[in-house]
Amino acid sequence: MPRIEFEPKLDFKDVLLRPKRSTLKSRADVDLVREFTFRNSKKVYTGVPIVASNMDTVGTFEMAQELAQHRMFTTVHKHYTVDEWKQFRDQVAGAQQLFDNVAVSSGSGDNDFQKLKDVCAAVPELEYICLDVANGYSEHFVDFIRRVREEFPRHTIFAGNVVTGEMVEELILTGADMVKVGIGPGSVCTTRKKTGVGYPQLSAVLECADAAHGLNGHVMSDGGCTNPGDVAKAFGAGADFVMAGGMFAGHDQCKGEVIEKDGQKYVLFYGMSSDTAMKKHHGSVAEYRASEGKTVKVPYRGDVNATVLDLLGGIRSACTYTGATHLKELSKRATFIRVTQQINEIYTGLEVKK
């Protein structure tokens, strides 16, 4: 029989962080750098754990170079060729801070596996691998993580996406160091509409972080952040890293074509399974799958540096308001106030039995 869960599940928009007494004098006193030791690779990470998504309009080499200067992370998209990776390596030779903040992305097919091996052989400085599939629940994906872990015992592996604790545990026990959390919250994602599947992101992060931390693993909240406040909420809910696509879109570093219309400048931003991405990388939309991403025009925003400073400033302020001297303390200091009603209560006005 189908089951219904009545316990409220929340998105970022459903909550606010409550301010708390603080000894901090200014937001400049807040430290956003975190240090993690990854469970399976045993590698130590230090940096500001905000991540540009591995979308081809965001996770570019140019983005990685800019974000690394702020000690922020980029999951470089999987469509660069091995030769392009080699050229990039030559261009940035010796820039270890860059490779401390860069992952190579991969899908879960046999071709992907071979390409991953080729890229990692061509760029030995790479220490991070991001295994990314729309549905991280398949047995095939679990087998793929096992295979990648065997091939790359010392690399740090991010894998996802899932939204529930039991699957977070399975991916970590199979070899992932950090699990990406998010199904349906993305700004150009249509999964919730096309399939009816999804999970409110704040609750997904809360529950998945709890499961991962119990195993000394980590979680990356992926998708649904539309402003710095949402990123602060994701950290408050227990995310170790926070990934965003739309917030980084529209900048020079995205390498997209700038379109002028009615005196305004725009850049195309699209989901990685949208018609636009499918046609660009595969020639057409595969018949068996619905496109679960859309294409939008976002305002052209120039250099990403200004956006980064605004983002970091917002998170520093969130830490100041909640009394967290270090980003690490934000989740310990966080009390969320629910500010929306559940839709069913609004729609029906009926008392819901809990």
Site for ligand 5GP contains 40 (CB under 6 A): no
Opening angle at CA 83, ends 78 and 87, nearest 5: 105
Site for ligand 5GP contains 273 (CB under 6 A): yes
Q: Of 222, 219, 212, which is closest to residue 169 (Cα–Cα)?
A: 212
Q: Which of 186, 217, 228, 250 touches ligand 5GP (CB under 6 A)?
A: 186
| CB 239 to ligand 5GP: min, Å | 13
Site for ligand 5GP contains 272 (CB under 6 A): yes
Alpha carbons 199 and 34: distance in angstroms, whole number: 27
Site for ligand 5GP in 142-171 (CB under 6 A): 161
Alpha carbons 187 and 189: distance in angstroms, whole number: 6
| CB 190 to ligand 5GP: min, Å | 7
**Do the annotations mark residue 271 as ligand-binding?**
yes
Site for ligand 5GP contains 244 (CB under 6 A): yes
Cβ-based nearer residue to ligand 5GP, 144 or 270: 270
Binding mask 305-344 for ligand 5GP (x = CB under 6 A): ----------------------------------------
Instruction: Identify the active-site residue in 174, 191, 276, 322.
Output: 191
- Does 191 participate in catalysis according to the annotation? yes
**Do the annotations mark residue 272 as ligand-binding?**
yes
The residue whose two tokens read 């909550």 is 15
Alpha carbons 153 and 79: distance in angstroms, whole number: 24
Site for ligand 5GP contains 225 (CB under 6 A): yes
| CB 13 to ligand 5GP: min, Å | 12
| Total interface residues for ligand 5GP by CB under 6 A | 25
Q: What are phi and psi of 44, to 5 degrees?
A: -100, 135
Cβ-based nearer residue to ligand 5GP, 172 or 188: 188
**Do the annotations mark residue 183 as ligand-binding?**
yes
Site for ligand 5GP in 118-137 (CB under 6 A): 134
| CB 300 to ligand 5GP: min, Å | 17
| CB 298 to ligand 5GP: min, Å | 10
Site for ligand 5GP contains 106 (CB under 6 A): no
Q: Which of 241, 250, 271, 278 touches ligand 5GP (CB under 6 A)?
A: 271
3-state per-residue secondary structure call for the chain: CCCCCCCCCCCHHHEEECCCCCCCCCHHHCECCEEEECCCCCCEEEECCEEECCCCCCCCHHHHHHHHCCCCEEEECCCCCHHHHHHHHHHCCCCHHHHCCEEEEECCCHHHHHHHHHHHHHCCCCCEEEEECCCCCCHHHHHHHHHHHHHCCCCEEEEEEECCHHHHHHHHHHCCCEEEECCCCCCCECHHHHHCCCCCHHHHHHHHHHHHHCCCCEEEEECCCCCHHHHHHHHHCCCCEEEECHHHCCEHHHCCCEEEECCEEEEEEECCCEHHHHHHHHCCCCCCCCCCECEEEEECCECHHHHHHHHHHHHHHHHHHHCCCEHHHHHHHCCEEECCCCHHHHHHCCCCCC
Site for ligand 5GP contains 59 (CB under 6 A): no
Alpha carbons 56 and 60: distance in angstroms, whole number: 7
Q: Which of 198, 228, 238, 246 touches ligand 5GP (CB under 6 A)?
A: 246
Cβ-based nearer residue to ligand 5GP, 41 or 191: 191
| CB 236 to ligand 5GP: min, Å | 17
Residues that bind ligand 5GP (CB under 6 A): 53, 55, 134, 161, 182, 186-189, 191, 222-225, 243-247, 271-274, 292-293
Residue list, annotated binding site for GMP: 222-224, 245-246, 271-273, 289-293
| Residues with catalytic function | 189, 191
Residue list, annotated binding site for K(+): 184, 186, 189, 192
